[in-house]
Amino acid sequence: MAFSIKRCIGVVLLLSLLAACASNDVNTEPQHEERASEQSADDAVNTELVSAPQERELRIGISNFAEQDLIYELTKAWLAKNTKTQHIRLKAVNFENFTGAVNAMRDDKIDLYWGYTASFLSAYNIKTSPPYDAKLVYERVKSVLAENESQFSLLDYSPLHNDYAFVVRRDIQDFVAVRDLSEVASSNRKWVFGIEPDYLEYRDHDGWEALAKFYGFNLANIEIKQIYE
């Protein structure tokens, strides 16, 4: 009983590899016999210091809403499981909007950002036509970025589904047979939809207006209440 408009999550990555160079001046002059063991011990300590991995900071950009906070925590968990994170210090860098994060990638202020292909479509004015297949949209966005951005590139998209969904209260289902939104559209019943303001904004292929048009809702039978929390 849920309709989903999928926004496939793409990952934008610019890794700034920090190289730490160190040198160890070793005195090659002959040593007095009584200092030979002491010098050998010093060389061993110096060698360990030179070869020890240097800590690197990985700056992860996140937009200013709860979903991105969750993605940041998932990133930390993934890195802890799959990499030697004892030499990586993670830093979350917050942005008010998508544009700020993209500009930060260009200016080398962050190294990685979880972005949405739909956001790239809007930001780069990329035109696509229905049906909207997640993989085809991703390939289109990747191609445009390759042509227009030299500072970062798109990685493989995540298998996570970042979906919108409508749910129906159980007490309504007890006396109205509702299995999907097509049945909502064909019903003469009055419906009250709770929708967040972002979903009400006009979009070419997403959001309330596109949804209502696709299913042929009788808007006279629908009341919308905006949900802010």
Question: pLDDT digit string (tens) for 132-154?
Answer: 788 888 999 999 999 999 888 88
pLDDT for res 204: 67
Coil, strand or helix at 126: coil
CATH number for the domain that contains residue 57: 3.40.190.10
Look at residue 105 and tell me if it is in a domain: yes
Regarding whether 177 and 144 lie in a shared domain, the answer is no
Q: What is the mean pLDDT of residues 178-184?
A: 86
pLDDT confidence tier of residue 176, bands split at 50, 70 and 90: confident
The average pLDDT across 104-112 equals 93
Q: What is the pTM of this model?
A: 0.57
3-state secondary structure of 216: coil
Residue 119 lies in a domain: yes
Highest mean pLDDT among 27-31, 51-55, 108-112, 114-118: 108-112
Res 181 pLDDT > 70: yes
pLDDT at 85: 60
The pLDDT assigned to 118 comes to 81
Residue reference for tokens 């297949």: 133
Nearest to 69, CA basis, from 61, 59, 58, 79: 61
128 assigned to some structural domain? yes
The last residue of one of the domains, among 100, 129, 154, is 154
Is the confidence at residue 177, as pLDDT, over 70? yes
pLDDT in tens, 14-65: 333 222 333 333 333 444 455 555 555 555 444 444 455 677 889 999 988 8
Where does the pLDDT of residue 4 fall: very low under 50, low under 70, confident under 90, or very high at 90 and above? very low
* DSSP one-letter string for 41-75: HHHHHHHHHHHSPPPEEEEEEEESSHHHHHHHHHH
Average pLDDT over every residue of 80-88:
76
In contact, 65 and 96? CB cutoff 8 Å: no
Q: Read off the pLDDT of each residue in 172-191 and give the average, rounded to a whole number.
A: 83
Last residue of a domain, one of 127, 154, 181: 154
More confidently predicted of 212 and 23: 212
**Beta-strand runs (E) in 20-162:** 56-63, 88-95, 112-116, 153-154
Find the domain containing 183 and state its range: 170-226
Count of beta carbons in the 10 Å neighbourhood of residue 62:
22
The per-residue pLDDT for 31 is: 47
Whether residue 67 sits in one domain with residue 123: yes
Question: Phi and psi of 199, rounded to 5°?
Answer: -75, -20
Measured at the CA of 13, the angle between CA 72 and CA 21, to 5 degrees, comes to 100
